[in-house]
Chains A and B, each alone.
Chain A
């Protein structure tokens, strides 16, 4: 795989994981707040 291939895989993979993590973190924070 070329350097460009690695770069696109890492960039897009990380971006998707980051958005997923952010949205789930917001939902968990909301759930914790509701429990309190």
Chain B
């Protein structure tokens, strides 16, 4: 077997991991979740979720990944098989290869909007008055009107950029992108935060509409929300999205870590960098700006309208009304684009790894095949209304928790937490707290089962029955379901026919000695 790629430096690895985790959700989803679920009090379930689900799963995925990498594989399937050498593990692992590809099919398209908006902002191409209504109309025209050709051109350019990075490989492509991209993202973020915090009260006739009141909108604690299960579910969901958990991606990146290198502190470093981007930068920008310009009532409405209403309509409008607004808008949308592309190049890596590690396909050919498939399943995102929502629910919401539950159960009960603790501690730069073992064994699985049961009970019946879905959207939703099932079936078939498989006899011998 040819030598697998490896990260060139520890900091390159950490920045790449952070790049995978830092995405559009850090800047658009987190502030909305915080504002809707108790403000400063939301941080209580958020931090609890980080400690009982986030950190344990980050460590678990890094451990699984480094172990599978030692066997020459980076797929989720191989990660499970090296913990539990059975056919069940191999085929349950399909989910951790399919989910990131399905998410990437719409995520890359959304990232391309950010690239387009960055250029429009710099070239001052937004509507002259740039109020929210005209930005909504502009957005509709961009996605479904006269400007759709431009949207497709930016999507093609975004795919080409992703393909280039993936084709160069882990160390020369992804690591280089993250080494320059993530520091740049933080610089852009800090510039925007400084500008936001120095805005004060943009309209003196409305003294309550200030940035500080906007920060209060996110941070003022409303402890009555803590008694509601919805705040805890929202916090746990946010931890999942923000740390790229349950996607097979962290493990895939960790499979390129040398087997004696630290993963414990590196996992904390990349996760905490993600938290800096989310809580400190993400919490300081979108909602405070919307509050200062549109006031409390409109901000509630914008937050309910979701991430696109906040990121593209509202922020796009606000920056056009500030001095040097074209530059600030460019920085904002570029920041989102960097966050997007450093995540999308990670989502493709599990399938690329399948082709390279299990089939011996060359790096360039694996990247071309992967991105070819993504473009194919992304086409309905461009032309079909409702398709993105369907993929987002099954792959980007339920799928993540199912995937995490599978890995948590196999790790804790088939492999064993004592072995897991020993593997994580190998090469660690700090002592791992032993309380992680009962958390892995009892708390994380129980928390995941609760979250999954709640989503399936509350949301899945309405989604399955397509309640409130317009007739013209139904066909696209069915196409979405067919794509989800078809992708999983195809990956399962590819794994079954792969000429290179995990050496189960070797794994069994290792397990006997661990």
User: Once the chains bind, are B265 and A5 in contact (CB under 8 Å)?
Assistant: no
Of the listed stretches B84-92, B122-130, B267-275, chain A binds B267-275
A1-B216, A16-B275 given; A27·B221 CB < 8 A: no
User: Once the chains bind, are A13 and B429 in contact (CB under 8 Å)?
Assistant: no
The B203-224 residues at the A interface (CB cut-off 8 A) are: 212-213, 215-216, 219-221
**Which listed residue, B212, B220, B269, touches A23 by the CB 8 Å rule?**
B269
CB-based nearest A residue for B220:
A5
Q: Which residues of B contact A7 (CB under 8 A)?
A: 40
Q: Which residues of A contact B215 (CB under 8 A)?
A: 1, 5, 9
User: Once the chains bind, are A6 and B429 in contact (CB under 8 Å)?
Assistant: no
User: Once the chains bind, are B220 and A1 in contact (CB under 8 Å)?
Assistant: yes
User: Once the chains bind, are A2 and B220 in contact (CB under 8 Å)?
Assistant: yes
Using a Cβ cutoff of 8 Å, how many contacts connect chains A and B?
A: 72
B213-241 near A? 1/0 per residue, CB < 8 Å = 10110011100000000000000000000
Please count how many residues in chain B sit with their CB below 8 Å of the partner chain's CB atoms: 29
User: Once the chains bind, are B220 and A31 in contact (CB under 8 Å)?
Assistant: no
Q: Which residues of A contact B280 (CB under 8 A)?
A: 13, 16-17
User: Once the chains bind, are B216 and A23 in contact (CB under 8 Å)?
Assistant: no
Q: Which residues of B contact A23 (CB under 8 A)?
A: 265-266, 268-269, 272
User: Once the chains bind, are B279 and A16 in contact (CB under 8 Å)?
Assistant: yes
How many A residues are at the interface, by size bracket?
20 to 34
Does B276 belong to the interface (CB within 8 Å)? yes
The A1-27 residues at the B interface (CB cut-off 8 A) are: 1-2, 4-9, 12-13, 16-17, 19-20, 23-24, 26-27
Bound form: Cα–Cα A33–B272 in Å: 23
For A1, A19, A30, the residue with the greatest tally of chain B CB atoms inside 10 Å of its CB is A1
A1-B213, A20-B275, A27-B14 given; A8·B221 CB < 8 A: yes
B121-165 near A? 1/0 per residue, CB < 8 Å = 000000000000000000000000000000000000000000000
Distance in Å: Cβ of A30 to nearest Cβ of chain B = 5
Does B10 belong to the interface (CB within 8 Å)? yes
Q: Which residues of A contact B14 (CB under 8 A)?
A: 27
The B234-265 residues at the A interface (CB cut-off 8 A) are: 262, 265
Does B69 belong to the interface (CB within 8 Å)? no
Distance in Å: Cβ of B257 to nearest Cβ of chain A = 13
**Which listed residue, B43, B216, B273, B430, touches A26 by the CB 8 Å rule?**
B430
Distance in Å: Cβ of B210 to nearest Cβ of chain A = 9
Q: Which residues of A contact B275 (CB under 8 A)?
A: 16, 19-20
CB-based nearest B residue for A11:
B43
For B262, B272, B279, the residue with the greatest tally of chain A CB atoms inside 10 Å of its CB is B272
User: Once the chains bind, are B262 and A5 in contact (CB under 8 Å)?
Assistant: no
CB-based nearest A residue for B270:
A23
A19-B268, A20-B269 given; A4·B221 CB < 8 A: yes
Q: Which residues of B contact A5 (CB under 8 A)?
A: 39-40, 215-216, 219-221
Q: Which residues of A contact B10 (CB under 8 A)?
A: 27, 30-31
Distance in Å: Cβ of B430 to nearest Cβ of chain A = 6
Distance in Å: Cβ of A20 to nearest Cβ of chain B = 4
In the assembled complex, 6 residue pairs joining A and B whose CB atoms fall closer than 8 Å, in A order, are A4-B221, A7-B40, A12-B47, A13-B279, A23-B266, A23-B272
Query: Across chains A and B, which 3 residue pairs bring their CB atoms closest together, nearest first?
Result: A8-B40, A1-B216, A23-B269
Other CB < 8 Å A-B pairs besides A1-B215, A8-B41, A27-B14, 5 of them? A1-B212, A4-B40, A9-B283, A30-B10, A30-B262
